[in-house]
Amino acid sequence: MSGLVMTNVGHVAIATAVKNADFWLCLGGLPEDFESPWTIKDKPPAFDPEATELLLPYGYRKATRVLFAYEDPDGIIVVAKRRWSVTEKPTKHVYLEFIFDNEDIIGKTIYQKGIFMNLKPKEGIPEGKLFLLPEEVENKGILVFGQNIKPFYSDEGIRQFHHFVLTF
């Protein structure tokens, strides 16, 4: 007996449902007592699939753009060595773009990235605020994707641009 196979329209339906969620990218570091921090020369350890948050969150940036995408050899978006274009037509791929302002996270070494869905700011935080510190978050929502990365130092001279293509 063979297993169930998700149809292409099933993948598109899930991507369509998820696309309308609020997405936030959290950048994080390592606690001071972390046993064995990795360096830029090391291969980062695998991200723990049981994690529900980053080890030391520094801040959350709301997605600048959330669009459907498709693989395109002539596309101008490059993610994980693959080229993509965006489209209004629903596909099983969702493109996420996050642009951090120079002042968002200054003087920190970033070791982790996490994409959260449906984060809720604390009461009193102005509606439409696109960057939140951890203390401004009532409920971080659901960590749907996480990644340990080669560390980099974040300073005011660098405007960070992060983009991802999620496939469902």
DSSP string, the chain: -PPP---HHHHHHHHHHHHTS-EEEEEEE--TT-S----TTSPPPPP-TT-SS-SEEEEEEE-SEEEEEEE-TT-SEEETTEEEEEESS--SEEEEEEE--TTSS-SEEEEEEEEEES-EEPTTSPTT--EE-GGGEEE--EEEEEEEEEEEEE-TT---EEEEEEE-
Average pLDDT over residues 154-161: 86
What's the confidence (pLDDT) of residue 146?
A: 97
Its pTM stands at 0.91
**pLDDT digit string, tens, across residues 24-75:** 999 999 999 998 889 889 899 999 999 999 999 999 999 999 999 999 999 9
The pLDDT, as a whole number, for residue 159 is 84
- pLDDT confidence of 155, banded at 50, 70, 90? confident
Residue 1 has pLDDT above 60, yes or no: no
